[in-house]
């Protein structure tokens, strides 16, 4: 692989990492600590992620247990979860929060799949945008005589191959997540 293409491949890999994190945060009817990743709690004036304030564990297939290290934060963690968009009310027993995930309705599953499709498409658009930036750079290098026309064609082919590879990977990730959601 050419050193000119390497930084663009890194950007494409990062795009897939972001996509992977986005998919992890989508709840699929089973307990997954990643659904709490985006939720922050006001802790001494600073927005703090729940996973930095509490131990989060999976008690059963559909139950998450959140055990704060500082018991006084239990109420504020509970409020933050209720205010979030995960749509689940935690049960507070005074020392831990239990979050029971109800099975998803058919309608909700289809809605989630639409969102997954859009997120996948956004990632592919980002990857193609990286390809465009790379091609613009290669054209500029050719114009300033840093590379020959043959070099430019080879670099453009290389970046196109990477674009195809990472777009296909994004599609694969999206299909796998949709399949996981549609399983009952």
pLDDT tens digits along 121-145 = 999 999 999 999 999 999 999 899 8
pLDDT (average), residues 23-31: 72
The residue range of the domain holding 65 is 33-100
Whether residues 46 and 115 share a domain: the answer is no
Q: Do the beta carbons of residue 29 and residue 63 sit within 8 Å?
A: no
Average pLDDT, the chain: 87
Question: How many Å apart are CA 115 and CA 117, to the nearest integer?
Answer: 5
Q: Is the pLDDT of residue 107 over 80?
A: yes
- pLDDT for the residue 12: 94
Question: Distances from the Cα of 181 to the Cαs of 16, 58, 115, 140, in angstroms?
Answer: 19, 19, 11, 45
According to the model, what pLDDT value does residue 59 have?
Answer: 80
- Whether 168 and 116 map to the same domain: the answer is yes
Report the Cα 169 to chain-centroid distance in Å. Answer: 14
Query: How far apart (Å, rounded) are the C-alpha atoms in residues 70 and 53?
Result: 7
Cα angle 110, 12, 23; round to 5: 25
Burial of 66 (0-12, 13-18, 19+ CB in 10 A): buried
pLDDT at 184: 60
In the chain, % of residues over pLDDT 90: 36
- The domain boundary residue, chosen from 49, 75, 100: 100
Question: Does residue 96 have a pLDDT over 90?
Answer: no
Range 66-75 average pLDDT? 86
Torsion of CA 109, 115, 119, 124, to 10 degrees: 90
41 with 88, same domain: the answer is yes
Domain CATH for 115: 1.10.132.20
Task: Classify residue 110: in a domain, yes or no.
Answer: yes
Among 79, 100, 121, which residue terminates a domain?
100
């Amino acid at each position: 692989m050419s050193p000119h293409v390497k930084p663009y491949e890194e950007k494409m890999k990062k795009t897939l990492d972001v996509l992977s994190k986005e998919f992890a945060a989508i709840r699929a009817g089973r307990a997954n600590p990643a659904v709490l990743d985006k939720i922050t709690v006001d802790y001494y004036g600073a927005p703090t992620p729940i996973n930095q304030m509490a131990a989060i564990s999976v008690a059963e297939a559909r139950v998450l247990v959140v055990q704060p290290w500082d018991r006084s934060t239990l109420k504020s963690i509970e409020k933050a979860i209720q205010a979030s968009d995960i749509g689940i009310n935690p049960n507070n027993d005074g020392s831990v929060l239990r979050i029971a995930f109800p099975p998803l309705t058919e309608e909700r599953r289809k809605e989630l799949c639409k969102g997954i499709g859009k997120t996948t498409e956004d990632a592919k658009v980002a990857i193609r945008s990286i390809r465009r930036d790379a091609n613009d750079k290669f054209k500029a290098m050719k114009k300033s005589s840093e590379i020959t026309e043959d070099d430019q064609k080879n670099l453009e082919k290389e970046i196109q191959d990477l674009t195809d590879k990472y777009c296909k990977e994004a599609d694969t990730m999206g299909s796998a997540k949709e399949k996981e959601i549609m399983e009952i």
